[in-house]
Structure 1
Amino acid sequence: MATVSIKEVAARAGVSPGTVSNVLNRPAKVAPGTRERVRRAIHELGFVRHGSASTLRAGHSRTVGLSVIDIGNPFFTEIAAGVEEMASERGYAVILGNSAGSRTKEERNLRVLAEQRVRGVLITPSDQDLARLDRLRERGISVVLVDHPGHRPDQCAVAVDDVAGGRAAVAHLLAGGARHVAYVTGPLTIRQCAERRQGALAALEAAGLDPDRLEIVETAAMTARAGERAAGDLLRDGLPEAIFCANDLLALGVLRTLLQAGVRVPDDVALMGYDDIDFAAASAVSLSSMRQPTHQLGRTATELLLDECDNPGTHAHQHIMFQAELVARESTR
């Protein structure tokens, strides 16, 4: 089968070859109607761009990278779905990297993405030291932070206000009558865990309670298995009136262990999660949780990244902060 050329696409669409090239590489420069006409011609003719050649000429590919902390967590899976959806709409593919919370693995993934000449990188950093991302920017690779607030005026970021979310979660538990609250969390070196704890302390203080009464149970991971172990510790040491977990996977593990021990949720212990993953509503006792706009996080971050890639001269960096939404179910009073 003969290879379809850009000239043939241009003739079918009634435009110049340069316009076809712009649609492929700089779509924002082309009027929407013309862009659609060219894309229809590409589809009808079965045109496939020569990826390696275009990459060498442009210095980059039609790909973006996504680096997350834990792709096994449905929270990050949903972010990735939003990223892929927006990237696909703009004619880009996504290369996914999972750091598993390891800075060493994250740096290795970023090195591979740079070697692949990606247009840009979306990243949920494994720690708070972001200087390493400057090396990507020095190579002309745009970077947008995902689920991480921005502090630099020259970089976009999309996040959720985790302090406000943690405060709303614990305020809900206190409104149900709890006075002794435990916070089951992953490592407090993770920004989200630390900020949700900060919000929990603020809720106790606002209610006139001693913030030091917040019992901290720190786990090595944010998984259901870690939640089960944390619940075992709480059962041994004495249960609080309410438990706030830093994510839903921890909460589901806690719930499983409590139910197996004959603890009634929420009559004996109220339980609150964070993220509102699909499993939260489907658990044996439906889980109250703080819902994060995960899909929207992915789409918005990708839109910002591609705007910076396609319009570097006019792009305005933004720090977008979303709010988590309280979803009350059977596990709280």
Structure 2
Amino acid sequence: MVVSVRDVAAAASVSVGTVSNVLNQPAKVSPATVERVMQAIDELGFVRNDAARQLRAGRSRSIGIVVPDSANPFFAAVARGAEQRADEAGMAVLLGSTDEQVAREDRYIELFREQRVNGVLITPALDDVPRLARARDAGVPVILVDREIAGSGFASVSIDDVEGGRLAAGHLLATGRRRLLFLGGPVAIAQVADRLAGARQAVAAVPGATLEVVEMPGLTVLNGRAAGHDIVARPLPERPDAIFAANDLLAVGAIQALSIMAGVRIPDDIALIGYDDIDFAASTVVPLSSIRQPAELIGYTAVDLLLKELADADGAHERNVRFQPELVVRSSTERGR
């Protein structure tokens, strides 16, 4: 038998409205009454019909997150930070992974709209403002994560990836490397393009330094391993003396191909730095130097921006937060570490 709100009200000797207040606005009800209603709920095994509540309220208690790859430890950490802030606000997180497919991204946005989420946090595959604006115009706030689109009107939380690229390449150059290779995913990805732009700036400032660009179809360990195999197949004079990988997964794959499979000495023969400083960067076979992003803080801050946007329609708060990257040096770039 399905237990209704009326059954709970009868068991607790209160009105249906009082039960509703206990479930939705308990501060309006005396503690003694709240305790009596909750006891009746426990005894009867009542489960609230959240779908019906959403229809009445126009909102659910959830937030949608759309990321390119939920298996990537960086985005997993972003989601973890978002979940922490959502939990503090009494909300839950719904996660969708797009594999950089625009059609799949659109399906998730529409699904979250149907679920009446309080808002969507998204790392978009493309800087397509009109497409994102359709969700916002339909009443679903949109917060950009790990991306800022200038002039778009969307609140955002991002990292200065151009500066991150300068830090990574600048560190390699400071160790005496001059033949740098940038190992990236598709340069159409804004973060990859920004990191490459920063690396180019650093290399341009050092006479005699060069930067080769190798573009892979994805930002995965397997792509990094394939690039590493291609590098070790080159004659020694044609190999780079340093690699800047656009993320740590590419860097880990490159280390596997270079060091484990081909016996290249890292950093003696080739120095290597990644990006993101994911949890296991420090525990790879050669501890990986990396550019650290505060992934959990990015997710936490994105939800915080959303909550402020929901509470303040006039937007009288900071709407674009940009964090600065941090260089983390380990054994893959400096001997003796």
When the two structures are superposed, what TM-score results if normalisation uses the length of structure 1? 0.87
Superposition map of 1:88-107 within 5 A: 88-107=87-106
Deviation track 1:218-244 (CA, whole Å, cap 9, x = no partner) reads 000000110011112222233211000
State the shift of 1:206 in Å: 2.5
Q: Is the 8 A contact 1:150 1:156 kept in 2?
A: no
Question: CA separation in 1, counterparts of 2:110 and 2:60?
Answer: 15
1:197 aligns with 2:227: no
Task: Give the structure 2 partner of residue 222 of structure 1.
Answer: 219
Task: Give the structure 2 partner of residue 173 of structure 1.
Answer: 172
Superposition map of 1:102-141 within 5 A: 102-141=101-140
State the shift of 1:130 in Å: 2.6
Task: Give the structure 2 partner of residue 239 of structure 1.
Answer: 239
Change (3 A) 1:233 1:321: same
Larger Rg over CA atoms = 2
Question: CA separation in 1, counterparts of 2:228 and 2:264?
Answer: 11
Deviation track 1:274-312 (CA, whole Å, cap 9, x = no partner) reads 001112111110000011100000000011112212332
Amino acid corresponding to residue 171 of structure 1 in structure 2:
G
Q: Is the 8 A contact 1:223 1:249 kept in 2?
A: yes
Larger CA deviation: 42-51 vs 275-284: 42-51
Change (3 A) 1:7 1:298: farther
State the shift of 1:63 in Å: 1.1
Question: CA separation in 2, counterparts of 1:239 and 1:221?
Answer: 22
Change (3 A) 1:43 1:253: farther
Amino acid corresponding to residue 132 of structure 1 in structure 2:
R
List alignment gaps of at least 5 residues for structure 1: 25-29
State the shift of 1:59 in Å: 1.6
Q: How many residues align?
A: 318
Question: CA separation in 2, counterparts of 1:246 and 1:281?
Answer: 17
State the shift of 1:139 in Å: 1.1
What RMSD in Å do the two structures reach over aligned CA positions? 2.9
Question: CA separation in 1, counterparts of 2:305 and 2:9?
Answer: 32
Q: Is the 8 A contact 2:162 2:194 kept in 1?
A: yes
Task: Give the structure 2 partner of residue 62 of structure 1.
Answer: 61
Question: CA separation in 2, counterparts of 1:70 and 1:297?
Answer: 16
Larger CA deviation: 233-242 vs 164-173: 233-242
Amino acid corresponding to residue 100 of structure 2 in structure 1:
G
1:79 aligns with 2:78: yes
2:130 partner SS: coil
Sequence identity (%): 43
State the shift of 1:116 in Å: 1.2
Amino acid corresponding to residue 284 of structure 1 in structure 2:
V
Amino acid corresponding to residue 246 of structure 2 in structure 1:
A
Amino acid corresponding to residue 75 of structure 1 in structure 2:
F
1:132 partner SS: helix
